Amino acid sequence: MSTKVCNSCSFLRFFSYFLIFSLFVGSISVKASAITSLEKEDMVEIKGTMEKSNSSNIDESTNVLTPTEAIAELLDAMDKNDAQRIRSAFSADASQLYERWYARKKRGEKFRSWLETDIIDVHGRVIDPEITVHANQVTVKGTYMNDDNYTNKADFLFVVEKGKVVSWTMRY
């Protein structure tokens, strides 16, 4: 994948910051009518509408967060180290893995333990996240850091189903 920069990518970065800020304010939700990723051209196009709402970022027609909203909610919760919101972002059978070490895939109680020790207890968060969405897969790139003075390039792939994260893959 090339590192070509385009106007749509700049818009996506602005949109990502706006979405996270909106969650902070708590009064704006995003209803995306279409979000696509064109990986060959490395461009992102977003079509959607912004709408004032008191729905706490829930799609009122289905009462389920969209993949974009689910990940924006998770990133905001991580930024604030809101343990309950972080835990609630994941499905009961969520999994986590480091792409290079498939044998170390965590699911169930091992996943929950990893989430507590490696994310919540150390205030793990993503600085300057860049979000790309394709159907129910959300890529987050930026800088991961925590309060144990650990910093690394973030390249995360989330899979969202029914408004909850079912898979979190670290791709580095």
> Mind listing the pLDDT tens digit for each residue in 43-64?
333 333 233 333 344 445 568 9
Q: What is the pLDDT of residue 111?
A: 94
Question: Of 46, 18, 50, whose CA–CA distance to 34 is shortest?
Answer: 46
Tally helices (H) and strands (E) across the chain.
4, 8
Q: What is the pLDDT of residue 17?
A: 54
Q: What is the pLDDT of residue 63?
A: 82
Residues in the chain with pLDDT values less than 50: 1-5, 7, 21, 23-59
* Tokens 């009064």, located at residue: 27
* Tokens 């590192």, located at residue: 3
d(CA 163, CA 102): 25
Q: What is the pLDDT of residue 104?
A: 74
How many other CB atoms sit within 10 Å of the CB of residue 138?
Answer: 24
d(CA 58, CA 19): 13
Structure tokens at 97: 């893995």
Q: What is the pLDDT of residue 132?
A: 97
- Beta-sheet pairing, 90-98 with 164-170: parallel
Beta strands in 1-150 (DSSP E): 28-38, 43-52, 90-98, 106-107, 125-134, 137-145
Domains of the chain: 7-170 (3.10.450.50)
> Mind listing the pLDDT tens digit for each residue in 126-150?
999 999 999 999 999 999 999 999 9
